[in-house]
């Protein structure tokens, strides 16, 4: 299974989102074994879900809180995300971790809450440049993956996003991606045994149509979590086509 998700981050307004969905749907043909997804800002979840209805393109929230409701100004709950038409939710993105202080403790609660609301979590992990240069990449990933020891097994997509490659134009070399994805695959087996082997492992970090073929050729890469390139419907269409060609 290949999964390619567009993470729009804090981009696009209503008219822009409508134009994107119209252009993308016009050229999109689904293919078994390859799932396309879009993660718009929270303000656009209802609209994008409605625009993509019947297309087989899944909608993901970029974040959600673990409490079901209450006095949590500025947050949205997993049930509200589900009510907006979402299939899943991105959790633990490096920008959430490093800018907004997302903790592993909260991620455990968010994963459990997502499962309770029948949402597919996309759990992001990745190291900073300082951590990579110091040789701590696998140690960092091991620690980040330990949240799955606490939660126990459940539906999941894993996304490896080296922090130093997000929005920088730099992309990890195939040999670096292969080392990490093989490590994650082994870690998932140790954590969840056979259930861990079925988890798709995406790559994210300055993914473009120019480098995606090489990334998809790396063992244990099951698609991409795409930032900047996903804001252009033609580029995102190309990325989906590249993933479809591998299944």
Q: Residues 156-215: pLDDT tens digits?
A: 999 999 998 877 777 789 999 999 999 999 999 999 999 999 999 999 999 999 999 999
Q: Which contiguous run of DSSP H or E holds residue 88?
A: strand 88-91
Task: Pick the catalytic residue from 35, 95, 161, 187.
Answer: 161
Asked if pLDDT for residue 138 goes beyond 90, the answer is: yes
- Here the CATH number for the domain that contains residue 6 is 3.20.20.70
- The pLDDT value recorded for residue 172 is 86
| Residues paired with residue 120 on neighbouring β-strands, in sequence order | 88
Asked if pLDDT for residue 244 goes beyond 80, the answer is: yes
- The pLDDT value recorded for residue 168 is 78
Q: How far apart are CA 152 and CA 17, in angstroms?
A: 37
Tell me, yes or no, if 193 is annotated catalytic. Answer: no
Exposure class string for 105-121: b at 16+ Cβ within 10 A, else e:
ebbbbbbbbbbebebbb
What total of structural domains would you count in the chain? 1
Query: What proportion of the chain, given as a percentage, has pLDDT over 90?
Result: 95
* Phi (first) and psi of residue 173, to 5 degrees: -70, 150
Task: Pick the catalytic residue from 93, 127, 181, 187.
Answer: 93
- The pLDDT value recorded for residue 23 is 96
Tell me, yes or no, if 181 is annotated catalytic. Answer: no
Domain holding 105, by residue range, is 2-244
- Strand, helix or coil for residue 47: helix
- The pLDDT value recorded for residue 165 is 84
- Going by C-alpha positions, the residue among 73, 75, 41 that lies closest to residue 59 is 41
């Amino acid at each position: 299974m290949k999964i390619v998700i567009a993470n729009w981050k804090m981009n696009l307004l209503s008219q822009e989102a409508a134009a994107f969905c119209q252009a993308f749907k016009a050229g999109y043909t689904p293919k078994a074994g390859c799932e396309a997804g879009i993660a718009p800002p929270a303000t656009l979840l209802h609209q994008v879900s409605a625009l993509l209805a019947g297309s087989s393109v899944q909608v993901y929230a970029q974040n959600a809180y673990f409490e079901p409701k209450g006095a949590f100004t500025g947050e949205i709950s997993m049930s509200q995300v589900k009510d907006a038409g979402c299939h899943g939710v991105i959790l633990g993105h490096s920008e959430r971790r490093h800018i907004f202080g997302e903790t592993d403790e909260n991620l455990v609660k968010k994963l459990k809450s997502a499962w309770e609301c029948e949402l597919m979590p996309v759990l992001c992990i990745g190291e900073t440049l300082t951590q990579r240069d110091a040789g701590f990449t696998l140690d960092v990933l091991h620690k980040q993956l330990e949240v799955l020891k606490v939660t126990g097994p459940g539906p999941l997509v894993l996304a490896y996003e080296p922090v130093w490659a997000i929005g920088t134009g730099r992309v990890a070399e195939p040999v670096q991606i292969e080392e990490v994805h093989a490590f994650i695959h082994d870690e998932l087996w140790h954590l969840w045994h056979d259930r861990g082997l079925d988890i798709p492992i995406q790559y994210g970090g300055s993914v473009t149509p120019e480098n995606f073929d090489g990334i998809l050729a790396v063992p244990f890469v099951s698609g991409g979590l795409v930032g900047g390139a996903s804001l252009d419907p033609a580029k995102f269409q190309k990325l989906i086509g590249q993933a479809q060609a591998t299944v």
